[in-house]
Amino acid sequence: MPELPEAERARQAIERRALHRRIAAVDDRDTYVSRPHAPGEIESALRGRELVAAHRKGKSLWMETDDDGPVLGLHLGMAGGIAIDQEPSPRGWDRFTLEFEDGGRLALRDRRRLGRAVLEPRIDRLGPDAEDITRKQFRERVGYGRAPVKARLMDQSVLAGIGNLLAE
């Protein structure tokens, strides 16, 4: 189950292996993963652009594109991962794919189909990143309330990056 550590590993992989590569094509046909975008909408926004920076807050990833182009947001869902320069999944689990001009590819590989690919993701709805929060901030944000502690920990608007596994 991808949580903050897995999302950070995915961000690091994107930073090491996918930045400064020009996008030749995008497979955004899965309307569930790419909702609310129509098929081809993400492709027309990203084709010809280059990924220039990779970021993470909590479990959310986003990549900036060159020339102040659109931001691509990715969320791994519950069972997803990022596959860079790997052969397509033989089981059809590559739900969203960027193909680069150099022949490589970046795929959101998700057997459960719970991941997301979206343009201009709403990162402002997330609370502070669980990796960066101080003890005082943690107590202020999570320490008090009527909801069970686990529910407060998993509320991404309170603290971004904690899921069911880490909250246990």
Determine how β-strand 116-119 pairs with β-strand 105-110: unpaired
What the block records as the tokens of 139 is 């107590």
Mean pLDDT calculated for residue range 86-108: 97
Task: Determine the straight-line distance between the first and last CA of the chain, rounded to whole angstroms.
Answer: 13
Quickly name the fold that domain 4-124 has: N-terminal domain of MutM-like DNA repair proteins (3.20.190)
User: Which of the following is catalytic: 43, 57, 59, 99?
Assistant: 59
Active-site residue, from 2, 57, 99, 121: 2
Cβ atoms within 10 Å, residue 127:
19
Instruction: List the structure tokens of 11.
Output: 């961000």
The model's pTM: 0.91
pLDDT at 117 over 60: yes
Cis before residue 39, ω within 30 degrees of 0? Answer: no
Mean pLDDT, residues 124-142 taken together: 91
Which residues of the chain are in CATH 3.20.190.10 domains?
4-124
The pLDDT score that the predictor gives to residue 164 is: 83
Q: Is 41 a catalytic residue?
A: no
Judge whether 148 counts as a catalytic residue: no
Does residue 8 contact residue 131 with C-beta atoms inside 8 Å?
A: yes
Which whole number is the average pLDDT over 114-132?
94
Q: In the predicted model, is pLDDT for residue 7 greater than 60?
A: yes
- Among residues 3, 57, 99, 121, the one annotated as catalytic is 3
φ, ψ for residue 151 (rounded to 5)? -65, -40
Residue type, 4: L
Q: Which ranges of the chain would DSSP assign to H, the alpha helix?
A: 4-17, 41-46, 135-142, 149-154, 164-167
List of residues 6+ apart from 46 with CB closer than 8 A: 23, 26, 65, 69, 70, 72, 98
Active site residue 136: no
* Mean pLDDT of all residues belonging to the chain: 94
Residue 75 near residue 115, CB atoms below 8 Å? yes
The rounded percent of the chain whose pLDDT value lies above 90 is 83
In which band, very low, low, confident or very high, does the pLDDT at 151 lie, cut at 50, 70 and 90?
very high
More confident residue, 2 or 95: 95
Q: Is the pLDDT of residue 165 over 60?
A: yes
Q: What's the CA gap between 115 and 151, in Å, rounded?
A: 21
